[in-house]
Amino acid sequence: MLRSHRPVLSSLYYSSPSRGSQIAYYRIVLISRQLLSGSAMSSQQKQGEILKWASTDGEFRRRPSSYRSFISREPGAQYPPEKGRYHLYISWACPWAHRTAIVRKLKGLEGIIDLSVVDWYLGEMGWKFSTPEETPGSTIDPVHNSSYLRELYFRMNPGHDGRFTVPVLWDKKTDTLVNNESSEIIRMFNEEFDDLVDDKFKGVTFYPKSLRKDIDELNEWVYDTVNNGVYKAGFATKQEVYESHVVTLFKSLDRLEDILAKSTGPYLFGDVLTEADIRLYTTIIRFDPVYVQHFKCNIGMIRQNYPQLHKWLRHLYWEIPEFKDTTNFEHIKKHYTKSHRQINPFGITPVGPLPDIEPK
């Protein structure tokens, strides 16, 4: 029987203009681009690819992000930091996009980089835009008035054949997709806009030079076994693949529990809030509400079996507003349970656990 004081495995072994006819126009543009790109497969076949996750061997393999340009303060940079030039597209549901929303707020970039939020539903056409009236918490696309995020990718590359993922960092001046890799976007937000932010945000860093080696080392295994580990377990289509990944996941949670138990402060690296905490938070905040049941990561729960991780999570959520303000449990729970029909065919969203996060 699991005990709350012990590691689990050790006891086991934005206002909106009316879209009107523009929606139809953009749909025509989208279809034209698809045809011009030489895609001859049927729309059903093409769109269905978005919802296929695992390979034939039962393994989920995340594809690398496609756009990796960088905003830089260096003289002559292709993409220099400018107020109002860049636009960030996210989903409140997506843990990778969630990272960028947190750092945008922590670094005081809300008046410098605009934000759009897609609907929580991910269908065969990918992420869609909805008005706040249609889906509270969502926004339209004020830059291009797109109906779907995929239109941005085809705008950038009519022959794009990858997934249409968030986050997306868009340059309005050159009408270009700059970057869609969250780990790189948070590094840009952390450093490259310091000449533009208010004085209280200048010099604030979540990637201090003295800790970079340690942060990089922790990020590497946490990404593989925890951030992406929940997906590798949840999207597995063979029993042995699932078991392998879920066991590895909980071993890493045990390891994180031990790190926090030995920490001299409330964070993974003592009294210093770093990007490692931010990157881990977006997975752990989803763990009990979604991953335990939806991805079958149910060897234990954060609130019941990991006291140090639970304390750390509640501190971030309740004590640092930027974390709570960017956490939308409705979008999180509905996205996973109503979008992943191959896992949850009837789209039933569980009521619990209650509350979504326990009091501090």
- For every one of its 360 residues, what pLDDT tens digit does the chain have, with 9 covering 90 and above? 343 444 445 444 333 344 444 444 444 444 444 433 333 333 333 434 444 666 777 887 767 778 999 999 999 999 999 999 999 999 999 999 999 999 999 999 999 999 999 999 999 999 999 999 999 999 999 999 999 999 999 999 999 988 899 999 999 999 999 999 999 999 999 999 999 999 999 999 999 999 999 999 999 999 999 999 999 999 999 999 999 999 999 999 999 999 999 999 999 999 999 999 999 999 999 999 999 999 999 999 999 999 999 999 999 999 999 999 999 999 999 999 999 999 999 999 999 999 999 999
Does a structural domain hold residue 6?
no
Residues tagged in the binding site annotation for glutathione: 127, 163-166, 181-182
Q: Which of 201, 229, 259 is a domain's end point? A: 201
Residue 233 shares a structural domain with residue 91:
no
Q: What's the CA gap between 59 and 283, in Å, rounded?
A: 20
Structural tokens at position 357? 């996060």
Annotated binding-site positions: 127, 163-166, 181-182
- 75 assigned to some structural domain: yes
| 213 and 100 inside one domain | no
Q: pTM for the complete prediction? A: 0.87
For residues 249 and 115, membership in a common domain is answered with: no
Overall domain count for the chain: 2
Q: Residue 237: CA atoms inside 13 Å, Cβ hemisphere, count?
A: 12
DSSP secondary-structure letter at 125? T
Q: Is-contact 260 266, C-beta < 8 A?
A: no
Residues 178 and 223 in one domain: no
Residue 131 domain flag:
yes
The CATH number for 127's domain is: 3.40.30.10
Same domain, 39 and 165: yes
If asked whether residues 293 and 237 sit together in one domain, one would say yes
86 with 47, same domain: the answer is: yes
Pair 141, 235 in one domain: no
- Domain span at residue 248 reads 209-339
Provide the CATH number for the domain around residue 300.
1.20.1050.10
The answer as to whether 7 is a domain residue is no
Is the four-CA dihedral 196, 213, 250, 50 of positive or negative sign? positive
User: Looking at the annotation, which residues are catalytic?
Assistant: 94, 231
So what's the pLDDT on residue 92? 98
> Partners of 88 in the beta sheet?
115, 169
Domain contains 360: no
Domain presence at residue 111: yes
Task: Report yes or no on 10 lying in a domain.
Answer: no
Give yes or no: residues 244 and 100 share one domain: no
Are residues 197 and 270 both part of a single domain? Answer: no
- 145 and 237 inside one domain: no
Residues 130 and 256 in one domain: no
Torsion of CA 144, 147, 153, 156, to 10 degrees: -30
